[in-house]
Amino acid sequence: MTPLFEIIEAEEINYFSVPPHTAKLLIVLDETALSEGFSSLQSFSSTDIRLHFIVQTKQKKKQILSSYPELSFHPIDCLVTVSSERLLSILRIQFIGTRLVVSGSSSFVKTIREAAETAGFSDEEMQLKVIGSQKVAVFCVKCYSRHERNDEDLFLCPSCRTELDVSPHYSKRHDAYLGHIRI
């Protein structure tokens, strides 16, 4: 099963790649991703790519810049909540070809992804990385129910008690991987 988001541990932080001919990266992070993954983002600073940071934090911009002085060379927006209209307005004014790099908790990444899709970003324009654990849901094709998946290889639908094979196909509509009847 291919995960919708790649789950990484703090020590596996060097994970982002830049497609050729990228002019601008919009980097959206929560505080955990900033503190644990900033070293991997420093490699972008040595390129000709324009960077714009959006950080979900309760800290003031001044505090962030004193902790990470390298950020002072790039535009940075500090948002208390990612569900704000400010985030959507920033996403909507981006030029075609801007790439979006998102890192943080599972719920943070999901919220940013939904806002980015609303603003017109495609899947190809986004790199999404979840730090920490992620709950995976399975959609049963027999009874049309959606359930959280356990870590076992065999998935038994709690609603209809059918054994399911979990496919790598992710349904955005159901926010779950499709579970096909095991033959």
Give tens-digit pLDDT for 27-63: 888 888 877 766 556 556 556 778 888 888 888 888 8
151: which 2 tokens?
Answer: 């870590």
pTM, to two decimals: 0.73
With a cut of 70, say whether residue 104 has pLDDT above it: yes
114/19 Cα distance (integer angstroms): 22
| Domains of the chain: residue spans and CATH | 6-131 (3.40.50.80), 137-181 (no CATH)
- Residue 97 half-sphere exposure, CB side, CA atoms within 13 Å? 7
With a cut of 70, say whether residue 5 has pLDDT above it: no
Q: Contact, 168 vs 176, CB < 8 A?
A: no
pLDDT bracket for residue 78 (50, 70, 90): confident
DSSP 8-state symbol, 119 = H
Phi-psi region of 57 (alpha: psi -120 to 50; beta: other; left: phi over 0): beta
